[in-house]
Amino acid sequence: MSSPRHKPRPGPTDTPGLEVLEKNTETAWGLFHALQEEQSRPPPGELTLEEVLELTRRNNRVCPKPSVWKKLYDYLPNKTPQLAGFPATAQEWSMTPPLQKRARLRQHIEWAAAQGVLKQVHKALEALPEEKWDHMGG
């Protein structure tokens, strides 16, 4: 039995300005990482850069053939000198290794994503018949 002079100790909700600290840092970090991952995930059904890049590598593809790639490149908005062009002339095309072509195409797709036109570029690439693509060893 408590005497009238002893009051119960105040809890965190009873004391204004009192901070409660999480002692289990493993749990706090786990929650932090889960929230961070959730925020970085695109909404369901939203196209991702990785999905478009996967499309460009399907069936051992390198890049679209020059005439198609030119149309794609011309479509990209806000081009700067830092955005590499595509191998345009027949000599450039034959001298550019397949992996370099693929890397340039990736840069163009990343640019499209940054400029907000990834869906349109994906739609155009998805509609290309296989014979309009350059392939590894082809």
- 90-103 residue pLDDT tens: 899 999 999 999 99
**Distance separating alpha carbons of residues 79 and 85, to the nearest angstrom:** 10
Q: What is the pTM of this model?
A: 0.68
**Distance separating alpha carbons of residues 82 and 104, to the nearest angstrom:** 12
- Where do the H-state alpha helices sit in the chain? 25-40, 49-57, 66-75, 90-95, 98-114, 118-127
**Distance separating alpha carbons of residues 104 and 101, to the nearest angstrom:** 5
For residue 14, what pLDDT is reported? 60
Higher-pLDDT residue of 132 and 8 is 132
pLDDT tops 60 at residue 10: no
Higher-pLDDT residue of 47 and 16 is 47
Asked if residue 65 lies in contact with residue 130, where contact means CB atoms within 8 angstroms, the answer is no
- 111-126 residue pLDDT tens: 999 999 999 999 999 9
For residue 35, what pLDDT is reported? 72
Percentage of the chain beyond pLDDT 90 is: 59
- 21-64 residue pLDDT tens: 656 666 767 777 677 776 666 666 789 999 999 999 999 999 99
Tell me which amino acid residue 68 is.
V
